[in-house]
Chains A and B, each alone.
Chain A
Amino acid sequence: MKIDRRDFLKLAGIGGVVFASALTGIDRWAYGATSKARDFYFLQMSDSHWGFQGTAVNPDAAGTLKKAVAAVNGLRWKPDFIMFTGDLTHTTDDDKERRKRLAEFKGIVSALKVKNVHFMPGEHDAGLDEGAAFREAFGKTHYTFDHKGIHFIVVDNVSDPTSSIGDAQLQWLDTDLKKQRKDTPIVVFTHRPLFDLYPDWDWHTRDGAKAIDLLTPYTNVVVLYGHIHQRNDFMTGHIAHHAAQGLMYPLPAPGSQPKKAPVPWDPANPYRGLGFREVKAAVKNVQYAIAEYNVMGAKI
């Protein structure tokens, strides 16, 4: 029997983890470029912190990511792709151990039936070696790809330990954006929030405002990020920013307590606050471009 994905997640002990994010401006996407656009969905998975140990926070640290992989494999409809938005592994000061954790993570997610999987680093993966071990395992830390008329941009704001994007990558972003139309649907993936969510807890990107300035002229932009281990929705102008849950431990709401610390495990609600995100890209308003031809086939 094929079960509904929500039921499956409940059975897997990760109840209530899926929600659909409607991308802002999505109803406008059908016009213009999106002759290639079709309805689809993808998953955002984040902050699996493979290698973390702490039974008070997650007594199933070695099993949670595997449960999530099984849950994704049990989905009735497969996502077009999966994006991991960083902190794949928990940080370690030992370079060898970092590579070992990245390899173990890679082995676990290789069990995903969906093979179109993209990765980006978090500061736990890349902050101590400027992304060297991550690049060995997964390749570039910032890149773009296109899917069914949507332009996806992966911005690395963690490999620089100063939590900055850096001038070189900002220039790269500017160059890429200039190739897009102003109404191109754009989804940006980052690990840290680009805006100042809560700087007291280091929940920001030092030069994130520069990236937002570059994105602002574009009318259909959404930013999906991780880092804060909880859902959070915020607008900077017309740009929506959505943080995702993590897959190891939740963190408290911004500023809700004096110090940032993982939320303790709740035996009565195991896996609460952990999960992954489904993002549906739905084209709602179909518009038609009509052209007339004469009998000789010439456009008139």
Chain B
Amino acid sequence: MKIPNGALLFACAVVLLASSVVDLGGGGISLGQEEQVIKVVAKRFEYSPNTITVKIGVPVDLEFTSLDRLHGFNCPGLSIRTDIYPGKVNRLQFVPQKKGTFPFHCDNFCGSGHEGMTGTLLVTD
């Protein structure tokens, strides 16, 4: 089926508009119209980024990779967690339902700095 040029331009404009109204503020972020995709790199003993900002009610797709060993991501305030295995993308999908500041931490013991491997997930309007 041939798509009229005008319709294509209109679709692109919609995507750009959606991107512009969702300012996530974190690093390594790409946006679709219906989800917030955020790449997070874990290594001993830190996350990058370690502050993740998402919008309430918009689906989130966290894509974790580990540079060294098994880590974890546990955010008890939002009741979400995943293991982060090296050598693969570890995906965690959720829809934030409440605003606030929620700490997260590595919950797979990873060494001498394990207890400081923490971050913050911000859910905003």
Interface of chain B residues 66 through 125 with chain A (CB within 8 A): 70, 72, 74, 76-77, 83, 103, 105, 107-112, 114-115, 118
Bound form: Cα–Cα A9–B70 in Å: 42
CA–CA, A163 to B109, complex, Å?
Answer: 8
Q: Does A92 contact B (CB under 8 A)?
A: yes
Bound-state CA distance A92–B114 (Å) is 11
Residue pair B77, A200 in contact (C-beta under 8 Å): yes
Shortest Cβ distance from residue A130 to the other chain B in the assembled complex, whole angstroms: 10
Contact size range, B: 10 to 19
Closest to A123 in B: B109
Some 14 contacts from A to B, beta carbons below 8 A apart, are A90-B112, A92-B112, A127-B114, A128-B110, A161-B109, A162-B72, A163-B107, A163-B108, A200-B77, A200-B103, A202-B105, A202-B107, A258-B103, A260-B115
- A161–B115 touching, CB < 8 Å: no
A63 cross-chain contacts in B, Cβ below 8 A: none
The answer on a CB contact under 8 Å between B111 and A162 is no
Interface on B for A, CB 8 Å cutoff? 70, 72, 74, 76-77, 83, 103, 105, 107-112, 114-115, 118
Other than A91-B109, A161-B108, A202-B74, give 6 A-B pairs with Cβ distance below 8 A.
A91-B111, A123-B109, A158-B109, A161-B70, A163-B109, A259-B118
Neighbouring B residues of A258 by C-beta, 8 Å: 103
Min CB distance A196 to B, Å, is 8
B94 to chain A, nearest CB (A): 17
What are the residues of chain A within 8 A of B115 when measuring CB–CB?
A: 202, 260
Against B, the Cβ 8 Å flags (1 = close, 0 = not) of A173-203 are 0000000000000000000000000011110
Nearest-neighbour CB distance to chain B for A127, whole angstroms, equals 3
A128's nearest neighbour on chain B, judged by CB, is: B111
| Chain B proximity of A146: nearest CB distance (Å) | 31
On chain A, the residues within 8 Å of B77 by CB distance are 200
With A162-B72, A260-B115 as given contacts, are A200 and B105 in contact (CB-CB < 8 Å)? yes
Query: What chain B residues lie within 8 Å of A158 (beta carbons)?
Result: 109
Q: Is A93 at the interface (CB under 8 A from chain B)?
A: yes
**Cβ of A202: which chain B residues have Cβ within 8 Å of it?**
74, 105, 107, 115
A199 near B76 with CB under 8 A, answer yes
In the complex, per-residue mask of A129-173: 1 if CB is within 8 Å of any chain B CB, else 0: 000000000000000000000000000001001110000000000
Q: CA–CA, A103 to B112, complex, Å?
A: 19
User: Chain A's nearest CB lies how many Å from the CB of B55?
Assistant: 23
Which residue of B is nearest A163, CB measured? B107
Given known contacts A161-B70, A162-B83, A200-B76, is B109 in contact with A127 (CB within 8 Å)? yes
